[in-house]
Structure 1
Amino acid sequence: MSKVRLITIGLMVATLAACSSGPSESKAEEAMLAYAKANGSEDAKLTSFKLGECSKSDNGGYNCPVESHIVAMGGNFDQDFKGVFTFAKIDGKYKVVGTVSRTF
């Protein structure tokens, strides 16, 4: 095989892998904040956020481990929030559409 062909194949594989890796950390953080606000308090804030390696889920989304710290309800809720959440792209934005596991 020629070098050009090998480089082309390598670039195609890298591009396809990047497309199927799930949400970026910033997109997942936006989705998690929206999820926290919808399921808790409008004043919810994420004071830390870490996204682990996502895997494709059976429903077409991505199961992603998340570690975050949430402050809400005027500071009355101040907890670490960890779990594996399912993210899916809906109307061009990632959203949390399910919970595989969760701990506070």
Structure 2
Amino acid sequence: MATLLTLVLVFLGAVPYHEKLAESPMRFAIFWIGIFVLVAAILALALYDLVRVRRDHKRRVRELERELAAAAAEARSFMRLMEQAKRDPKEDSLDDGRD
């Protein structure tokens, strides 16, 4: 919203209000200083947003790496159990009904 307002004000200052602003140097200076302040605020917000997005992205990547490592460890454990079950099929049939 602030970006749109700034663009509209720049257009108004450059085209329709140029004559009015040119009449008084003080009015001209105040108008364009106001535009400069708005642009500076927009840039500050953009930089803040950039830093915040990068920080959140790094945090999320670390979380995903931890989840992936846990899933890989679980898969390796499962594969070891499956290989062990293939090597020792007798352990599955130990319970033949005799006590």
Which TM-score applies when normalising by structure 2? 0.32
Larger Rg: 2
> When the two structures are superposed, what TM-score results if normalisation uses the length of structure 1?
0.31
Q: Which has the higher strand share?
A: 1
Higher helix share: 2
